[in-house]
Amino acid sequence: MRWLQYALLTIYRKVERWLSHGVGVKLNPVHHLGSMSFYLFWVVGASGLYLYAFFETGVEEAYSSVEALTHAQWWAGGIMRSVHRYASDAMVVTMVLHLLRHFAFGRFHGERWFSWVTGVVLAWLVFVCGINGYMLPWDKLAQFTLTVTFEWLDWLPMFGGTLMRNFVHAGSVSDRFFSLLSFLHVGLPLLVLLLMWVHVHRLPLARTSPPWPVAAMLTGALVLLSLIKPALSQGSPADFATAVTTVGIDWFYLAFLPLAAVLPPAQTWALSGAATAWLVALPWWPTGGRPAPHRV
């Protein structure tokens, strides 16, 4: 582990020096990874509220409402959908880099254990929100995401195969079930927001807002990317009477789907459980020194 920390620390210091020469120490994005994650959460939330105002939470209407939102009002709805998607991806990037930076600098021991552990939980919760979000457009990617995720969850004794049998079946998908998916996509981010507040509660120097030039550059990059490569639905509406054979993957949120589709659920549960347990146990890993003063 020390070799891994040393390698990451070397990389971070070189990148920080290089960026500081270009934009200055105060605007160095590496120093604002945590606050950038907060800012991206608000971008995702604001764009999501706009999308939800035009979204129809019904099995028959969901796909057509998303298509109308994307193409009929491209100047607003289409850009908002793309910003929503790319800001969500960017939040994963800043969140993971933030976690790796604190790991590299050893800032997870001692009194920092609380922020580290809540950060690990927060990361998993953000991934759950993103996976749930990909179920809502009700296209072929939504069908593939829903099927693989529910098959994976069905391995747990608490479900015992009931999810696939009662919900993800050509004759059992109902508006009530789809409304539940929509409710989760609204309720889970509120839980994320609460946990984000808890995460920084014990850090008096924690920053939740990046400098405005950093926020402006980040927003501009999201809008530019949305114009260059808009986020679009994949294929026709979901149809659980037919299997999905080809689909594009958002590797920021759905990287586990191909793995879960080919490996037995027991193996994927064991891998994810072991990784989570290792991350949670890191604050009590033997260390030879105390963490250095830090900037969030």
Is residue 109 included in any domain, yes or no?
yes
Q: How many CA atoms lie within 13 A of 261 on its CB side?
A: 16
Domain containing residue 36: CATH number: 1.20.810.10
Within a domain: 98:
yes
Say how far apart CA 257 and CA 144 lie, in whole Å: 8
| Domain-embedded: residue 118 | yes
Q: What is the pLDDT of residue 288?
A: 45
Query: Which of the residues in the chain have pLDDT under 50?
Result: 288-296
Q: What distance in Å separates the CA atoms of residue 226 and residue 78, rounded to the nearest whole number? A: 9
pTM recorded for the entire structure? 0.92
Q: Which domain holds residue 186?
A: 29-284
Residue 57 CA to residue 295 CA, distance in Å, equals 42
- Give the C-alpha separation, 216 to 234, whole Å: 31
Give the CB-side neighbour count of residue 238, counting CA atoms within 13 A: 27
Asked if residue 21 is part of any domain, the answer here is no
Identify the sign of the CA torsion 277, 283, 284, 288.
Answer: positive
pLDDT given at position 290: 46
Residue 294 lies in a domain: no
pLDDT, residue 40, reads: 98
Contact between residue 272 and residue 175 where contact means Cβ atoms under 8 Å apart: no
Q: What is the pLDDT of residue 287?
A: 61
In a domain, 235, yes or no: yes
Residue 292, in any domain of the structure: no
Predicted local confidence at residue 111, as pLDDT: 86
Do 209 and 218 touch, CB atoms closer than 8 A?
no
Tokens of 249: 């993957």
Is residue 13 one of the residues assigned to a domain? no
pLDDT value for 175: 85
User: Residue for token digits 């850090």?
Assistant: 203
- Going 154 to 157 to 160 to 166, the CA torsion angle's sign is negative
For the chain, the domain total comes to 1
